[in-house]
Copies of this chain bind each other. A is one copy, B any other.
Amino acid sequence: MQTLQVELGERSYPIYIGADLLARAELFARHIAGRQVAVVTNETVAPLYLDALTRSLAGFEVATVILPDGEAFKGWETLQTIFDGLLTARHERSTTVIALGGGVVGDMAGFAAACYQRGVDFIQVPTTLLSQVDSSVGGKTGINHPLGKNMVGAFYQPKAVLIDTSTLATLPARELSAGLAEVIKYGLICDEPFLVWLETNIEALRALDQAVLTEAIGRSCAAKARVVGADERESGVRATLNLGHTFGHAIETQQGYGVWLHGEAVAAGTVMALEMSSRLGWITAAERDRAIRLFQRAGLPVIPPEDMTADDFLKHMAVDKKVLGGRLRLVLLRQIGDAVVTGDFSREILDATLAADYRALVEQLKD
């Protein structure tokens, strides 16, 4: 088992990474202060792992809330069912909420923990690659609003994150690939040697080689922990974690939540950010293409939806959280391994990026 620490003063917490952690009752007990525990999971994950988790919680008074599965349910109505479950089971302010599932479960259970009785303890048990390397670490929680993704939420840190790598055995291949989009992101924004390592190991990751997976998850979480420790509330460097996310959120919103997986939208969105960085002369076309090839080998889409116009993108990007002072700010690459958040680009470059022919760009890579 690997243990990392997210350094946030009195809100610091450990990340445990390893096989079969769900069976390690002592890891849970170490972070549960009261006698009540509320497990929040969904209808897909519950049949697979709820029993294993519940066995490790013997001795606690356990309530379970099972949510419908999918980003489409990441709204207030579903959140309300968590509060209903907590109140019906008479859970007190000393309860601990455990999120067992992917990013949607973690975001909603975390937000529910942040708000229930103005805040109760919270443990993340992410079961998808995407949530293991990204959303379970750093304290971002929330729900979607019809007018924007993650528009309602809280910064709320867990007491611990337990990453059981064995759970990836049941993850659909498409979702594994979606998780790899965020893994590749860490290489692009802050760790070029990790990108080289990924170029060597991408097939082993897709084949679920446990040792390779553990290393990739550890390096990803360490990168995220460093960034979050330096900037918990995203006033600066933390925003670089959103490489590809402004374009990606526009894709998700336009297509309807849940049609594209988040990681898929991030991959295509990152290609757009790379194209723009290349148009600005910050990275070369060859560097852009190097990243596109890696996304392709990871099984990810690299072309935005063909029916999405530049106006569609602009409409959704105008309400993005990274808009400051009415001016659009984007995460771009100064070079591979060095991301910046910047509004320092012309409107023409943005328009050209939105109008670029990504299909042709990808086609030429086959030559």
Contacts and interface: CB of A to CB of B under 8 A. Distances in A.
B119 A155 contact: yes
Contacts of A80: 76
A92 B152 contact: no
A285 interface: no
B90 A145 contact: no
A318 B90 contact: yes
A340 B284 CA distance: 68
Interface in A84-126: 84, 87-88, 90, 92-94, 114-119
- When all copies of this chain in the complex are counted, the total is 2
B87 A148 contact: yes
Interface in A132-158: 140-142, 145, 147-148, 150-155
Interface residues of A, number: 38
A83 interface: yes
A155 B90 CA distance: 21
Contact of A117 (B83, B88, B151): B151
A324 B154 contact: no
A83 B145 contact: yes
A211 interface: no
Given A34-B325, A76-B80, A92-B324, A155 B118 contact: yes
Interface of A: 34-35, 76, 80, 83-84, 87-88, 90, 92-94, 114-119, 140-142, 145, 147-148, 150-155, 233, 318-319, 321, 323-326
List 10 tightest A-B contacts by C-beta distance, closest first: A87-B147, A118-B153, A115-B152, A117-B321, A92-B323, A118-B155, A93-B321, A118-B154, A90-B319, A83-B145
